[in-house]
Each structure stands twice: as C-alpha cells, then as structure tokens.
Structure 1
Amino acid sequence: MKPHAELDTLVIGGGVVGMSVAYGLARAGERVRLLDEGDDAFRAARGNFGLVWVQGKGLDRPAYARWTLAAAQQWHAFAQELAQHSGVDVELSQIGGLILCMDEAELAQRAAGLAAVRQQLGQPYPFEVLDLKQLRALSPLVGPDVAGAVFCPLDGHVSPLRLLHALFKSFQNLGGELCAGMPVEAIEQRGGVFHVRTGHTEHVAAKLVLAAGLGNRVLAPMVGLEAPVKPVRGQILVTERVQPFLRHPSLHVRQTGEGVVQIGDSKEDVGLDDGTTLAQLARIAERAMRCFPLLKQVNIVRTWGALRVMSPDGFPIYQASTACPGAFVVTCHSGVTLASQHAGALADWIQGGTEPADISGFKAERFHV
C-alpha cells in the first residue's frame, strides 16, 4: 500500500522563486508546505534589484525571450492578484525601462542585440533607440556623458521586499504552511512519496520542488537531478531619500517608491563572499554619477553584496526527475521578472499539467553536450 502523504507538495526554498511556486500551487488548491533555511542562507532575494525586465534577455535563446516576455506581460494582473490576497502593494511601476549607453558604439551594439532577438522571435518585441535629446524627454536629468539609451515599454520594477511579503501573506492566507529555520538534511523517495528530514522532523509529500538557490547543488542529486549553479556577487549602493527624478528605471539605477536610489553594476566570481569592496563600489558610483550628475550631491546610507544564482550559461534550470517522479528542480537568477510565470504556467506543470514548451530546453543535460 502506498504510504499516506500528508502534503500534496513540499517546496524547499523561501526566496522569490520558491515563494512564487508555492503561492501558485496553494492558489490551485494544493496542500503545500514551504521549508526555508532561514536568515543564515545566502539569499539572492536580499540583494535583488527589483527589476521586471525584458530587454536584452534571450539573445540566441528565443524560448527564453518568449518566457520572459510572457512573464512581463502578466505582471500587472499578478500584482493586482497579490494585493487582493495579501493587502500588500508591491509598488509595481511598469511604464518602460532604459539601458543607458555611454558611447555610440555601446548604443549600436545594444540596438543590434535587441533587433536580433526580435528577428529570432518573429513576434512583437517593442523597443526604441533614443539619442540624448530623446532620452532627456523621458529622463531630463541624464548627464551629458550619456550618448543615448534603449527604451522598452514592457520593463519596470517592484519593491523586492514588498514582493516577498506579499507572496508570504498570500501563500499563508491560501492555507499554505511556512516552516522557517529548517535546513534540509536528507531526502528519500519511498513507496512513491518523499520523506524529507529537517532535524528531528520528517515531512512527507507526494511531490517535491527544489527552489533553494545555491542549495540546489547539494539537494538535487538526492532526487536524481543536477543543479550546477554557482554564486556571482553583485554589489549595491543605497542613497538617502531624494525628490523623485527617475520615473523610468535603468538597468543599473532605479529610484524606489520611498525616494531612495539603488545603484548596482557588478558581476563578480568570488565564491561565497557576499561582502563589498571599496574598488567596486567606487566604480559603480562613478558610472552612476556620470549618468545622473545630481547623485554627486546625494549621500550613500548603506551598501551590501548579494550572491546571484547562476547556471553555466546564465539561463534557468527547470526539470522533473525521472529517477524520482514527482521531484522538480527550479533555479534561475531572474526570480522577480519570472515570478508571474513561476506562479502560473510553471506551477500548473508541477501540479500535473503539460510542461510549457518554452522551458523544455532548460534541463541540466544541456551542460553535458
């Protein structure tokens, strides 16, 4: 006789990716428990910039461009739904975003890349190349060192902390169970159900979702899967509150709903070191001040480093286990942008639906070719 599973699905990982999947499953009526390691984990969500971003994603990978495009197009409805379930406004502003370029060569390269994505997609992929005069019509305080920008009307940003809060509250209000401070020690599939041990507690579930970020490297092999992810550090500066001046977020500078400015522009292969360095922070600040000279008069109030979760090619890993049917691995570095898809089409697949066509090429076997 098949052992009784106390849960439909157990989700491991309480960052934006795990919470989005857990919320989607709970919304569908499943009995879901989420295990979160706690604040000692190297949490990518801590340093998330909060962008909902389309432009530049998916060059030579049209399936990923489609997946991202669909996610961005669903974000308004997703934000409204979270507000209804949680009462939390995630501060979504999706009126378009900018990638600022410091010279004509950089601008031409960006434009060529986006044109290539649009051609590969064969469907509407809106963007506009702006010279400095056109850019200043959107963002008047851009500095004279900027050559121009690429604008995409689908881009935007949210508060990543408010998003996590909304996901937590919505999940719990829909009957989901959150267990914090529970690092996973062992996973077994016996009699067709999963037994997951955390300390002296055993959790039994019919399905299992691994969304533990860097922790997936260790957890995935326990269910016959792979997650060859590595940490890539990003450093962020945060200013004091200033009067609103930046309606449209850029790839490296955005102004939050509270008026503070977040600045980030680094990708560092430094292992598990999530600290900050004066050299990188100075470089990041220097570029930001060239883009927006008014920042020279603004005080920095804090800085931090955070570890992105990156696969060898930078694209997600979505895979169901054949060795342990019912187990899934989900990992990506664009958890905010893709949250609507993770709560929607991906959760539908995990629940027992058809695998979305656009994610079929994102299995770990691609790294062995």
Structure 2
Amino acid sequence: MLNNQSEIAIIGGGVVGLSVAIGLLQSGHKVIVCDGEDSDARASFGNFGLVWGQGKGWNFAPYAKLTVDAIAAWEDFSKNLNDLSGLDVSLDQNGGFEFFTDPDKLNNFISMLEIQKGHAGNRFNYEALSGDELRNQIPGIGSKVVGATFSQLDGHINPLRFLRALRRAVKVLGGQIKSNASVKKITSNKDGGFSLILANGSVTSSEKVILCAGLGAIKLADQLAFKTNIRPERGELLITEKLGDQLPFISSTIRQVDEGGIQIGGTHADVGMDDNETLDIMVDLARHAVEIYPALSNVRVLRAWGALRVMSPDGYPVYAQSEEYPGAYLITCHSGVTLASLHASILSDWIENNVRAPNLEAFNENRF
C-alpha cells in the first residue's frame, strides 16, 4: 500500500471540492483531491450552471448576504479561472427572469423577494413585470405567462466547461487529483493528522481533511463526528438540439448554453438515491418551456436525464469544523456554482482561521 502525504486532503472532486482546492492552493497549501468513482452520484455532472440570487436566503438572512457576496465575486473569479485553465467558462451576468403562469405564485415570490431585499439591503434588487409588460419587452413570451421577476445580478455559465476548468486550474496550481479514489474510511492519527483508506487499499495521509463529497458524505460524516443529515433531491433536465438563434432571456428553468443547446429543468423530487428520469416529468418540463416561449415547440429534445442535488436538512450550506477531530471540516451545499467564487477565496481564510476569516457561525451544523 502506498502512503501519500499531503498537508490538506479534500474528499470530493466536484465543483465544491475543486473550488475549495483552488483557494487553498493559491494560499500556498499542498493539496490532494480524492475524486471518487465514475459510478458515484455526482451532482456536479448535472448542475444547471446558474449564478443566481433570486429567492436564495429570503428566510435566512446569512444565506441571502452570502449569495450576494458570491455573485459580486464571480467576475474576478471567472477571470482568474480563465487565466489558470485557459478555458472560458462563458460567464454571462446580464440578468435573469423567473417566469410565472400562476398569479398567486407570482405574488408569493414577490413577497419573498421583498424579504430577501431587506436582508441584503441595496446590494440586491429586482423588478416585477406584468405579462403584458414582459411581452412588450420580449416578443414571443407565451400568453399564459402572467408575469415575471427580473434581477440584474443573475446569470449563468457553461456548466461542464466550468468543471473542466476547475480540474485544470487545480493541476496548474500544483494540486494533485486522484481519480477513482473512493474514500472508505477516515481515521485520526495519534500523532496528529488523518489517514484516508481508499477502496483500493491505498492510504493517503494529511494534516487536515475537508469533506466536500456531496452525497458521498452521507457515509463518511459520522467518522469525523459530523451530525448533518445530508439527503438527495432529484432534479430532471431536458437538453435540446443546438440552435442558431439566441434565446432572448435566461431563467432559472430555461437557459441556452453558449454552444447553442437549451437546458430545461427546475424539478424537485424526494426519491432517495434514484436519479432516473421519468416520462411524466419530462412531459411537464417540455410543456413548461412551450408555455413560457412557444417558439420552442419546434425544437428537438436530444437528451434527458436526472441528477441528484445535495441537500442539508434546511437546504442551506453547512460550513462546520469537527469539535471531536480538530483539523476536520465539512463543506456541503446545493448551490455549488453560485458559491464557487467564495469557496475559491475566503474559505481558505476560514480553514486557516486567520485574521481575515469570515464569520460563518450561522452555517455551523449546530443549528440542526
């Protein structure tokens, strides 16, 4: 068995783990990322690519503020990532819509945004539009749309290129990514640090360990005395053919990537670890897209799939340090893309516990 020594071991090679790795590497740390098996439930492969604020933290002020901070940091983060990786993640922060066909749901969402605005102050704003105002602004919006909200802060990226850019940046910065490195057991060493026993029998040792394994943390968290009950939530997606014409909007459920294909999503289902797509949901997604923008009725759907989100008990991020095992950290969230700009920057200060460390006490797992 080979023993690889590193200063910090990150368990999880998805968006969250790689973003955290970039921040630590740029702070001068030696980092190894243990990426699991291809058969693992990988939320990062199904991410929608949104850099989004509307509705986030409306009933939890710390998250509303954290989201605004993350969105504001994305432009610099994108430039840094592009420089490191040589890949353009196609950041577009020209604003996004939330469309509604039900007036009660629209009014409820506006009420939520008002609360969110109160939490974030003048750093978050939005505009509410009636259906007629929307159709005057964007010809082609469907007649069933009763209104929408718009925030200039919202945007998106190319999700799969983003994941490739993160991996490349980690390697450029000198980080090590171990593929097919499924961690089965974590032990605390008597002389300090941790040993990670992999499925193939090899051992990786580190001074600190950061659990960013998404749904993989379900089986590992208690080994480090973390108590957060992580659960899966299935979302389903449709992917269309590439279009020559540009979609005149982005929303949290309908967006066009820079290559031309349109992603349609936004579903939520509590079905355990079942990530299979379902015909009735696929039909509902297609119907929703056509109701919002009828011109999509003639577009061919090429692929459909289900993916599992990573959810904490209250749906908000968890940033926790183990009380029983100093040097062990748990980082989990379902908005890994939006929060990536902070994960790749200020979290290194939190892990180092230096004078610049952000106050993340509100996100500790003691709230559960």
Question: Paired residue for 2:257?
Answer: 256
What CA distance in whole angstroms lies between the structure 1 residues aligned with 2:73 and 2:245?
A: 27
Contact 1:8-1:30 within 8 A present in 2 as well: yes
What amino acid is aligned across from residue 98 of structure 2 in structure 1? I
Q: Is the 8 A contact 1:156 1:248 kept in 2?
A: no
Equivalent residue pairs, number: 363
Kept in 2, the 8 Å contact 1:88–1:166? The answer is: yes
Q: Which amino acid aligns with 2:293?
A: F
| Conserved? CA contact 2:41–2:308, under 8 Å | yes
TM-score by length of 1: 0.95
| Residues 69-148 of structure 1 mapped to structure 2, 5 A cutoff | 69-148=68-147
Q: Secondary structure at the match of 1:258?
A: coil
Amino acid paired to 1:35: C
**1:62 matched to 2:64:** no
Displacement after TM superposition at 1:5 (Å): 9.0
What one-letter code is carried by the residue in structure 2 that aligns with 1:252?
T
Query: SS in structure 1 opposite 2:220?
Result: helix
TM superposition shift of 1:247: 4.1
Q: How many angstroms does 1:121 deviate by?
A: 3.3
Which structure 1 residue ranges, 5 or more long, are not aligned?
none
Check conservation: 1:216, 1:227, Cα contact below 8 A. no
* Contact kept in structure 1, 2:9 and 2:32, CA below 8 Å: yes
Percent of paired sites with the same residue: 41
For 1:1-369, list aligned pairs within 5 A.
6-190=5-189, 191-198=191-198, 199-353=200-354, 355-357=357-359, 359-367=360-368
Quote the offset at 1:158 in angstroms.
Answer: 0.5
Q: CA deviation at 1:138?
A: 4.6
Look up the equivalent residue of 2:131 and give its one-letter code: L
Q: Could you give the per-residue CA deviations for residues 283-305 of structure 1, whole angstroms, max 9, x where no partner exists?
A: 11111110010111111000000
Give 3-state SS (helix, strand or coil) of 1:63's partner: helix
Q: Distance in 2 between matches of 1:212 and 1:226?
A: 15
Query: CA-to-partner distance for each residue in 1:196-224, whole Å, 9 max, x for gaps?
Result: 11133211111110000011121111112
Quote how far apart the aligned CAs of 1:244 are: 2.9
SS in structure 2 opposite 1:338? helix
* Aligned counterparts of 1:286 and 1:247: Cα–Cα separation in 2: 19
Shift of 1:141: 2.4
Q: Give the whole-Å Cα distance in 1 for the aligned partners of 2:282 and 2:171.
A: 38
CA distance in 2, matches of 1:66, 1:10: 29
Amino acid of the structure 1 residue aligned with 2:60: R
8 A Cα contact 2:64 2:119, kept in partner = no
Distance 2:93 2:138 in 1: 15
What's the RMSD between the two structures over aligned residues? 1.5
Unaligned stretches of 5+ in structure 2? Answer: none
- Larger mean CA deviation between 224-233 and 273-282 belongs to 224-233
> Residue 145 of structure 2 aligns to a residue in which SS?
coil
Tell me how far apart the structure 1 counterparts of residues 293 and 170 of structure 2 sit (CA, whole Å). Answer: 39
Distance 2:19 2:274 in 1: 27
- What is the identity, as a one-letter code, of the residue corresponding to 1:246? L
Q: CA contact under 8 A between 1:232 and 1:268: conserved in structure 2?
A: yes
